[in-house]
């Protein structure tokens, strides 16, 4: 026994020395990659970032709109996501048999819906009028259908071999992605610029129904979905991270076609869009085509930044969701946004505490105390553009409680505030982060996402590469300092799923 | 030693021809549909090598990033674990990695790997055993020996086995938390059968039944070099890498064992309607389907094209876009490599549209059979396959992993190219023929997880509704409150009084054998069946069970660790699971328990309902056995017992009720008994004669 552990200890020491000595990891190939990236801002303000990757004749396309659910106010929660759905409904030429005729019916539909909403909002709605308007609305919807070429945008890009057509809306951003054979570059330019130049939000009222199903699917029938919604609502009382990306059901039901058109006008001007293309493409050719196609979009002002900030917290907050589920713990502490000088140390803190099988929380909660089967800590939750949370998540083992998990997490938090982390833990963090970054770079699609995200949120895509140097500068003292600055009971929200008693 | 290199399908040339062709029909002339030529794919070939011990290697260099990845596959499957130990394969796959090696404990491996930013993960599922390794290239000489140790010299640390079991029990306790998980799991059981190795689930009882010996034995059966395929990709020199792998794994002795064949799937097409009640949801999770097929089917190309049209052009466009009824909706004829896949159509829709959505999906299935697809649909689907084909080869990792998969399942290494070429030739008639042959809209199984009270119409529109109970079977010992010295003393006292109520306790202690003749009525899928039965129990470890079946006399004999089953067509050893199950019965036998009372613990649980009446409940347990015994409050004679076991429908609670006590040599014995599994009556027994301590020939229990 002693012999074994001595040998193991020697191996570990040797490794540690090796890791601490060998941190200049992959510096060269990083520089080479950086050299393959070019950027250009079009005259109308839209920015293109291109990375030439010649491994295979394919390319990934990423358009990042700097608008997410954090831009939404009361009454229109969920509208960023609704707009994302509507962006697949076609344009004045895609998705229609006769746009001129179709447009008349769409306008009429909106007018009828408006009248219907007004009538229904009255204290004593005229029931006959409501019935008539509903019938007229249904009739117009059927008429509109006759002009629609169902899902023509999807058909168009998939027919050309798109394997990655999709879009995502988050608290911070709305992102549109495609992956095509590289010879479809100009095709992508034409079709995608059309989406932002001539969008038509047809089938709007049906699509709202789809989104309601999406809300039921991801929030209302999922105990963890419910927990996430309530956790954020309690952790944020003022800042719009307060509401879920999908929005409140009543808002989804009430948002009008015109609301979406206004929202598009406000947030989709070229200066608010950033595109990245990674793959077997020529940067000069990309820039030429981009000016030709996307250059057609008229420029507009950048939207005003949001005003509301989350005020200082007045004490620990709690939330509980009762559900037909086993218990779950989700907890978070407020901290600054990703651009703040402390963010790097917070990343390291989250990793050392709760990422990986040898992290402190896993060692304690899962391996030693057997109080949980899953435990994790993540920084920059649920977004990174605005001041956000460092969050802790635990799934208690069978017959164990949320309280036990919380107590053990608290113990580790106190410890990391009291004593500096070890050199080995810090080295481990640095190495894991670099390896993870290399992993991201292997995929064209993920690289395109990374470049736009860094460029928009952090202000420069070059930081993807420079961040490695910044990570090397983080010290154990930095980590101890940020732990003491942010991991304070009065600064946190603790939420849990409480199993429903049958 | 073989060393061959295979070229990559002359892919570049082919893609070039395919993708440069302009489209015939152009919808929007202003859009640039005149595509330039696609650059050829310049990915180098994969090197193949077989080591002397049979380990097959596939290697491809990729110098763009300073990393190395490996993926190994072993012929193994959870289908090879005994049903009574469901979960054994998964536990083995987990503890192989977490349980450490002879050289390093598991926790030390965790730390060493993460310090290097390396990962090693292992697992076993119904299709394969696997190991995945990822590292920075400079750590190869540290990581490779750890990987080799994990595969060759795993320690299976008992503490890590216990940890993995806690994990497995937690998973069981959480398996009804998520609606989607409930739907796909229960749908799998409907298609493959709840006892099928491809659908069954681990239960507390099956996890409890697994010990370290089982895990070690399972590992030893399947983890051999000649049973392994290993793909390696990344920043290395191929020759050097082969040398290093040879050094690490080359002297791992071959086992020369043929892995068993995967059990087949015996599907009978049928129409069923099934409902699982979830009172706390406002949306139904719907799955509709039947058995699917194999990738090797000659019709697979036509089915692939059909899938794209059914799922997107039909289901998505109709149910989602036109009707706004669902966010996700699909219809896919699934094909497996070795085990038939599942045809499933599904959607999640608001409770009030449940029946409507099911109707729409069935209509689309029918339309797929009754009409040819349109020219447009066919053109789009085929173009999609042709134009996206390059993405199957757009990274070296993808190329080598696909090759490993084909090699593992014994498919031709160029199988995707074969399918691709066939897809080019698929016609509208082929698709309709495939739909007619493979889709059975009128023989589907329908599953709805949702809140019945809110449905638009009753589900019995589609047939008789079968309610599925997803309550998680609780292990017998668990429902009881913690034992106290008082409840244990009271329990022993009650048990002693129950024995005294049956007869002279000394006389019962001295029973050597019981011979019983009876009529046994068994509920079978074909109805009830009554057979003459004879049971001879010789305490403490011999049982003979003789049955007059319609197919002739059947004998099961158990003599301690040996057991045999004798039928008119010959004898064979009794499967271990069955032997154990019968011996467990013995462990619950009233007289046996009395004779071994010092090994048992008796806990009084107070008065509980049993068989519709009140009874005094005891929790009786000893190592390896645990059951509830119920006593009649008036007579104190046993009125029955209940326990957890593997029933015909998977693990569940079995209840045995006894009555009609009569006197046999001064001992009161029950002459009637009935068995219930999960509340359904499964058998009844009417005793004709009982003899105590009759002469029993030793010959009867001889097992060669």
Q: Which of A86, A97, A207, A210 to mutate to test the interface with B (most CBs of B within 10 A)?
A: A210
Q: Residue A244 sits in a domain of what CATH number? A: 3.30.830.10
Nearest residue on chain A to B396, judged by CA atoms?
A: A55
Q: CB of B397 within 8 Å of any CB in chain A? A: yes
Instruction: Count CB neighbours of A378 within 10 A.
Output: 18
Q: CB of A138 within 8 Å of any CB in chain B? A: no
**B687 CA: distance to closest CA in chain A (Å):** 42
In a domain, A107, yes or no: no
Q: Is the pLDDT of residue B479 over 80?
A: no
At the top level of CATH, the class of B53-177+193-249 is: alpha beta
SS (H, E, C) A402-451: HHHHHHHHHHHHHHHHHCCCCHHHHHHHHHHHHHHHHHHHCCHHHHHHHH
The rounded distance, in Å, linking the Cα atoms of B246 and B627 is: 54
CATH number belonging to domain B485-701: 2.50.20.10
Q: Which whole number is the average pLDDT over B631-660?
A: 84
| For chain B, percent of residues with pLDDT exceeding 90 | 71
Q: Do domains B53-177+193-249 and B272-390+412-467 have the same CATH topology?
A: yes
Beta strands at B46-50 and B129-136: parallel, antiparallel or unpaired: unpaired
Q: CB of B138 within 8 Å of any CB in chain A? A: yes
Q: CB of B132 within 8 Å of any CB in chain A? A: no
Number of folded domains that form chain A = 2
A292 and A318 belong to one structural domain:
no
Contact B174 A182 (CB under 8 A): no
A289 and A423 belong to one structural domain:
no
Contact A217 B283 (CB under 8 A): yes
**pLDDT band of B676, cuts 50, 70, 90:** confident
In a domain, A61, yes or no: yes
Q: Which range has the worst mean pLDDT, A438-447, B153-162, B368-377, B688-697?
A: B688-697
**pLDDT band of B577, cuts 50, 70, 90:** low
The partner residue sitting opposite A213, judged by closest CB among B41, B112, B350, is B350
E strand spans, B62-144: 67-74, 119-124, 129-136
In a domain, A49, yes or no: yes
With 0.90 as the threshold, say if the pTM is over it: no
Q: CB of B31 within 8 Å of any CB in chain A? A: yes
Q: CB of B8 within 8 Å of any CB in chain A? A: no
A253 and A401 belong to one structural domain:
no
The partner residue sitting opposite B387, judged by closest CB among A151, A160, A208, is A160
Calculate the CA dihedral of residues A480, A484, A486, A492 and round it to 10 degrees.
120
What is the pLDDT at residue B476? 54
A380 and A473 belong to one structural domain:
yes
Task: Using only the alpha carbons of chain B, give its radius of gyration.
Answer: 31
In a domain, A32, yes or no: no
Contact B166 A398 (CB under 8 A): yes
The rounded distance, in Å, linking the Cα atoms of B216 and B80 is: 14
Chain A 275-304, residues with CB within 8 Å of chain B CB atoms: 280
Question: pLDDT digit string (tens) for B273-287?
Answer: 999 999 999 999 999
What is the pLDDT at residue B647? 67
The partner residue sitting opposite A216, judged by closest CB among B19, B105, B282, is B282
A213 and A252 belong to one structural domain:
yes
Q: Is the pLDDT of residue B6 over 50?
A: no
Q: Which whole number is the average pLDDT over B217-229?
A: 96
| For chain A, percent of residues with pLDDT exceeding 90 | 90
* DSSP per-residue letters across A73-104: -TT-TTHHHHHHHHTTS-BSSSSBS-HHHHHH
Q: CB of A36 within 8 Å of any CB in chain B? A: no
Higher pLDDT, A467 or A242: A242
Contact B103 A8 (CB under 8 A): yes
What is the pLDDT at residue A451? 97
Nearest to A192 by CA among A88, A271, A284, A269: A88
Q: At what angle do helices A343-354 and A402-418 cross, to 10 degrees?
A: 130
Rounded to the nearest integer, the mean pLDDT of chain A is 93
Q: Which whole number is the average pLDDT over B148-169?
A: 97
Question: pLDDT digit string (tens) for A201-246?
Answer: 999 999 999 999 999 999 999 999 999 999 999 999 999 999 999 9
Residues from chain B that touch A207, judged by Cβ atoms under 8 A, are 324
Domain ranges, ordered by start, for chain B: 53-177+193-249, 272-390+412-467, 485-701
**Angle (nearest 5°) at CA B636 between B630 and B642:** 10
A319 and A262 belong to one structural domain:
no
A275 and A335 belong to one structural domain:
no
CATH number belonging to domain B272-390+412-467: 3.30.830.10
Contact B380 A158 (CB under 8 A): yes
SS (H, E, C) B282-300: CEEEEEEEEECEECCCCCH
Q: CB of A4 within 8 Å of any CB in chain B? A: yes
Nearest to A120 by CA among A110, A106, A134, A107: A134
Which residue segment(s) compose the domain that A324 sits in? 312-499
A434 and A469 belong to one structural domain:
yes
Nearest to B152 by CA among B55, B67, B47: B55
ipTM of this complex? 0.92
The partner residue sitting opposite B32, judged by closest CB among A186, A373, A443, is A186
Chain B 41-70, residues with CB within 8 Å of chain A CB atoms: 41-43, 64-67
Nearest residue on chain A to B450, judged by CA atoms?
A: A221
In a domain, A389, yes or no: yes
């Amino acid at each position: 026994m002693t012999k074994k552990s001595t040998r193991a200890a020697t191996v570990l020491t040797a490794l540690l020395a090796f890791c601490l000595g060998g941190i200049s990891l992959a510096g060269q190939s990083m520089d080479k990659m950086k050299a393959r990236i070019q950027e250009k801002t079009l005259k109308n303000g839209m920015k293109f970032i291109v990375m030439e990757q010649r491994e295979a004749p394919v390319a990934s396309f990423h358009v990042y709109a700097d608008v997410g659910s954090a831009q939404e106010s009361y009454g229109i929660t969920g509208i960023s996501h609704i707009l994302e759905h509507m962006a697949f409904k076609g344009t004045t030429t895609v998705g229609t048999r006769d746009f001129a005729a179709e447009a008349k019916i769409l306008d009429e539909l909106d007018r009828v819906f408006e009248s219907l909403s007004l009538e229904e909002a009255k204290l004593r709605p005229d029931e006959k009028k409501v019935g008539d308007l509903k019938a007229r609305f249904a009739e117009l919807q059927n008429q509109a259908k006759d002009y629609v070429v169902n899902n023509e945008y999807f058909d168009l890009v998939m027919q050309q071999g798109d394997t990655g057509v999709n879009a995502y809306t988050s608290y911070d951003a709305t992102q549109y992605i495609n992956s095509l054979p590289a010879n479809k570059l100009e095709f992508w330019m034409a079709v995608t610029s059309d989406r932002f130049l001539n969008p038509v939000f047809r089938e709007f009222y049906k699509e709202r129904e789809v989104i309601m199903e999406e809300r039921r699917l991801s929030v209302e029938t999922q105990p963890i979905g419910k927990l996430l919604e309530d956790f954020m609502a309690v952790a944020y009382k003022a800042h719009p991270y307060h509401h879920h990306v999908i929005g409140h059901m009543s808002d989804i039901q009430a948002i009008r076609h015109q609301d979406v058109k206004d929202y598009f006008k406000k947030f989709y001007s070229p200066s608010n869009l950033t595109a990245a293309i990674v793959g077997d493409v020529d940067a000069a050719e990309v820039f030429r085509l981009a000016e030709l196609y996307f250059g057609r979009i008229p420029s507009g002002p950048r939207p005003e930044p949001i005003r509301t900030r989350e005020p200082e917290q007045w004490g620990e907050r709690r939330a509980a969701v009762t559900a037909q589920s086993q218990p779950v713990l989700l907890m978070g502490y407020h901290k600054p946004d990703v651009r703040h000088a402390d963010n790097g140390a917070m990343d390291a803190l989250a990793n050392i505490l709760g990422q990986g099988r040898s992290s402190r929380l896993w060692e304690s909660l899962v391996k030693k105390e057997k109080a949980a089967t899953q435990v994790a800590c993540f920084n920059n939750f649920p977004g990174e553009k605005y001041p956000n949370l460092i969050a802790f998540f635990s799934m208690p083992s069978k017959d164990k409680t949320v309280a036990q998990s919380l107590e053990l997490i608290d113990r580790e938090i106190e410890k990391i505030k009291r004593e500096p982390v070890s050199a080995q833990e810090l080295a481990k963090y640095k190495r894991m982060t670099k390896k993870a970054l290399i992993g991201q770079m292997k995929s064209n699609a993920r690289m395109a996402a990374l470049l736009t995200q860094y460029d928009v949120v952090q202000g420069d895509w070059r930081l993807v590469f420079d961040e490695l140097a910044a990570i090397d500068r983080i010290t154990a003292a930095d980590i101890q300092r940020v732990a003491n600055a942010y991991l304070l009971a009065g600064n946190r929200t603790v939420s849990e799923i409480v199993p429903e008693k049958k | 030693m073989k060393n061959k290199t295979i070229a990559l399908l002359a892919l570049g040339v082919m893609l070039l021809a395919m993708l440069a062709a302009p489209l015939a029909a152009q919808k929007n002339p202003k859009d640039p549909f005149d595509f330039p030529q696609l650059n050829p794919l310049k990915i180098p070939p994969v090197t193949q090598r077989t080591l002397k011990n049979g380990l097959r290697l596939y290697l491809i260099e990729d110098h763009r990033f300073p990393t190395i990845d490996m993926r190994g596959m072993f012929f193994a499957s959870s289908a090879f674990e005994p049903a009574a130990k469901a979960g054994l394969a998964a536990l083995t796959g987990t503890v192989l990695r977490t349980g450490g090696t002879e050289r390093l404990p598991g926790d030390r491996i965790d730390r060493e790997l993460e310090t290097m930013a390396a990962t090693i993960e292992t697992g076993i599922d119904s299709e394969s055993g696997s190991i995945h390794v990822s590292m920075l290239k400079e750590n190869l000489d540290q990581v490779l020996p750890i990987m080799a140790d994990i595969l060759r010299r795993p320690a299976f640390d008992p503490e890590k086995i216990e940890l993995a079991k806690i994990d497995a029990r937690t998973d069981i306790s959480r398996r009804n938390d998520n609606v989607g998980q409930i739907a796909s799991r229960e749908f799998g059981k409907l298609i493959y059968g709840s006892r099928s190795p491809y659908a069954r689930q681990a239960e507390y009882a099956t996890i409890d039944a697994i010990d370290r010996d089982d895990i070690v034995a399972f590992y030893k059966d399947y983890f051999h070099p000649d049973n392994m395929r290993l793909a390696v990709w990344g920043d290395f020199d191929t020759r050097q890498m082969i040398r290093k792998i040879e050094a690490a794994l080359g002297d791992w002795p071959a086992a020369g064992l043929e892995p068993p064949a995967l059990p087949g799937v015996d599907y009978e097409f049928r129409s069923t309607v099934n409902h699982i009640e979830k009172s706390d949801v406002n949306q139904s999770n719907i799955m509709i389907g039947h058995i699917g097929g194999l990738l090797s089917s000659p019709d697979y190309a036509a089915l692939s094209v059909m899938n794209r049209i059914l799922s997107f052009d039909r289901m998505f466009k109709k149910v989602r876009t036109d009707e706004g009824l669902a966010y996700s909706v699909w219809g896919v004829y699934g094909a497996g490599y070795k085990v038939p896949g599942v045809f499933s159509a599904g959607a999640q829709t608001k409770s009030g549209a449940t029946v409507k959505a099911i109707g729409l999906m069935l209509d689309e299935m029918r339309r797929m059979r009754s009409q040819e697809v349109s020219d447009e649909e066919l053109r789009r689907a085929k173009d999609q396959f042709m134009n996206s084909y390059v993405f199957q080869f757009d990274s070296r990792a993808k190329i080598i992993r696909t090759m490993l998969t084909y090699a593992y399942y014994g498919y031709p290494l160029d199988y995707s190219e074969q399918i691709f070429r066939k897809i080019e030739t698929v016609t509208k008639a082929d698709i309709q023929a495939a739909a007619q042959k493979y889709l059975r809209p009128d023989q589907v199984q329908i599953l709805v997880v949702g809140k019945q009270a809110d449905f638009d119409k009753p589900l019995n529109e589609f047939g008789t509704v079968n309610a599925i109970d997803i309550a998680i079977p609780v292990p017998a010992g668990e429902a009881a409150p913690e034992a106290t010295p008082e409840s244990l003393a009271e329990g022993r006292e009650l048990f002693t009084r129950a024995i005294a109520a049956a007869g002279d306790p000394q006389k019962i202690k001295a029973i050597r054998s019981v011979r019983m003749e009876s009529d046994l009525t068994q509920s079978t899928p074909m109805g009830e069946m009554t057979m003459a039965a004879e049971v001879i129990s010789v305490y403490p470890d011999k049982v003979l069970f003789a049955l007059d079946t319609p197919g002739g006399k059947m004998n099961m004999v158990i003599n301690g660790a040996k057991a045999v089953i004798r039928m008119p067509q010959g004898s064979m050893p009794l499967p271990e699971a069955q032997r154990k199950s019968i011996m467990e019965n013995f462990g619950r036998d009233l007289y046996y328990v009395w004779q071994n009372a010092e090994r048992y613990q008796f806990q009084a649980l107070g008065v509980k309902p049993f068989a519709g009446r009140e009874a005094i409940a005891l929790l009786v347990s000893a190592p390896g056995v645990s059951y509830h015994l119920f006593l009649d409050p008036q007579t104190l004679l046993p009125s029955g017992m209940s326990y957890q076991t593997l029933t015909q429908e998977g693990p569940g609670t079995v209840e045995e009720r006894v009555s009609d006590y009569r006197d046999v040599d001064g001992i009161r014995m029950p002459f009637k008994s009935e068995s219930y599994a999960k509340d359904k009556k499964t058998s009844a027994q009417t005793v004709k004669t009982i003899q105590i301590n009759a002469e029993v020939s030793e010959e009867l229990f001889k097992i060669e």
